[in-house]
């Protein structure tokens, strides 16, 4: 489906990843993991062809369609939720427009016996057949099902998209992506704005998706429930195993322990050989044997242990002025998005030293 070969990307002389290779095929549900800044979002942009690598190649069928859910979205003002979701069906909407134009001509023209009128009848027949094949009679019901799965109610369908918060607009963008006939889905933090019910629905959808899915997510449970393969970007290289997230971590640790044990045994053998070399060098009769051992030692492939990225970010926010005991105090705070009431007369106080999560 999609082949990636010797892909490299660097910024200011430092490689995010260097000469990485892997394949994506139908049924792959890949969890793309790594520390912040490892290059996960960059790799998604390269796979979507929004960004070019420094070196390397990507090969795929010309007909492959790739859908990319990004963190930033841009909506056209004035569309309803349904109208925005219908933007996923570009071909269907184009055929509908052509059918409307022809039907208008058939209704207004009176030259029923002319060749051109006959051509219009043939054209509308062909378009109607094509419209049925591409799902023209089913897309509206499918759109409503997807929107409801992502948490929208029927009464939301005719509301303008600008009356919704950024999180709900991201759900509309996700709905459009799922409605398209993509072969590969690239999802950057798809659960960030979803409630539990919507996450469960999305898990079921992706599990049954016949194409390939690549997911960047900090939601470990979501990765465990959806993925069947994990690719980790670490220190410029990738680790690729056909295991979901938690199983991959266990396997990776086991493999590293095996590498350490093998490396330890090899070092012991190398040290024994080096002692023999030093011993035989001192005797002229054993010099040829010493040279033979040196050549043998030079041919040994040294066992390497996969490095762990233990770098951590340390932040410090110095206080210029010591605040009072109460840092934030709110009284009767309300917020609406159109008719959607998200906050209603909230009372809250945050005191100095308190760690608050929303």
How many Cβ atoms sit within 10 Å of the Cβ of residue 186? 26
- In the chain, what are the domain boundaries? 1-65+182-242, 248-298
Task: Name beta bridge partners: 57.
Answer: 5
For the chain, 358 residues long, give each residue's pLDDT as a single digit of tens: 889 899 888 887 788 888 889 999 989 999 998 888 888 888 999 998 888 888 888 888 878 899 898 777 777 788 899 999 998 888 899 999 999 999 999 899 888 888 888 999 999 999 999 999 988 899 999 999 999 998 899 999 999 988 888 888 888 888 998 898 889 999 998 888 888 888 898 999 899 989 999 999 989 999 999 999 999 888 788 888 898 888 888 887 777 777 677 777 777 877 777 777 777 776 766 677 777 777 777 776 776 655 665 556 677 777 667 767 888 888 998 988 777 778 888 888 888 878 887 7
- Which stretch of DSSP H or E encloses residue 95? helix 90-108
The beta strands (E) that lie in the chain are given as 2-11, 14-24, 29-33, 55-60, 66-69, 184-188, 212-216, 229-234, 237-241, 326-337, 340-351
CATH number (3.40.250.10, 3.90.1580.10, 3.90.1150.10, 3.40.50.300) of 1-65+182-242 reads 3.40.50.300
Q: Give me the phi and psi of 142, to 5 degrees please.
A: -65, -40
Closest CA to 47 of 36, 202, 30: 30
Q: How far apart are CA 343 and CA 358, in angstroms?
A: 13
Closest CA to 127 of 104, 95, 157: 95
């Amino acid at each position: 489906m999609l082949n990636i070969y010797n892909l490299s990307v660097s910024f200011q002389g430092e490689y995010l990843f260097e000469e990485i290779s892997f394949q994506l095929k139908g049924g792959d549900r890949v969890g793309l993991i790594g520390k912040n800044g490892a290059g996960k979002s960059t790799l998604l942009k390269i796979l979507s062809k929004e960004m070019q690598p420094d070196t390397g190649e990507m090969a795929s069928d010309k007909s492959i369609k790739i859908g990319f859910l990004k963190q930033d979205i841009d909506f056209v003002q004035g569309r309803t939720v349904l109208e925005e979701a219908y933007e996923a069906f570009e071909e269907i909407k184009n055929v509908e427009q052509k059918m409307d134009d022809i039907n208008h001509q058939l209704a207004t023209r009176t030259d029923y016996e002319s060749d051109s009128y006959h051509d219009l009848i043939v054209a509308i027949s062909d378009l109607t057949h094509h419209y049925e094949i591409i799902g023209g009679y089913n897309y509206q019901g499918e759109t409503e099902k997807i929107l409801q799965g992502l948490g929208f109610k029927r009464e939301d369908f005719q509301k303008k998209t600008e009356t919704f918060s950024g999180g709900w607009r991201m759900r509309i963008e996700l709905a459009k992506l799922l409605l398209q006939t993509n072969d590969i889905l690239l999802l950057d933090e798809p659960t960030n704005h979803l409630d539990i019910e919507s996450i469960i629905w999305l898990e079921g959808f992706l599990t049954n998706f016949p194409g390939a899915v690549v997911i960047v997510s900090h939601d470990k449970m979501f990765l465990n429930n959806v993925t069947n393969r994990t690719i980790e970007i670490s220190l410029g290289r990738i680790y690729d195993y056909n295991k979901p997230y938690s199983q991959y971590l266990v396997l990776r640790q086991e493999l590293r322990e095996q590498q350490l044990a093998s490396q330890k045994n090899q070092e012991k053998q190398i040290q024994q050989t080096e002692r023999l070399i030093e011993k035989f060098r001192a005797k002229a009769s054993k010099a040829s044997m010493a040279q033979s051992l040196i050549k043998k030692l030079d041919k040994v492939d040294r066992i390497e242990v996969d490095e762990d990225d233990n770098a951590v970010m340390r932040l410090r926010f110095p206080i210029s002025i010591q605040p009072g005991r109460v840092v934030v105090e709110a009284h009767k705070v309300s917020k609406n998005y159109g008719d959607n009431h998200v906050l209603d007369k909230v009372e809250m106080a945050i005191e100095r030293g308190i760690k608050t999560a929303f």
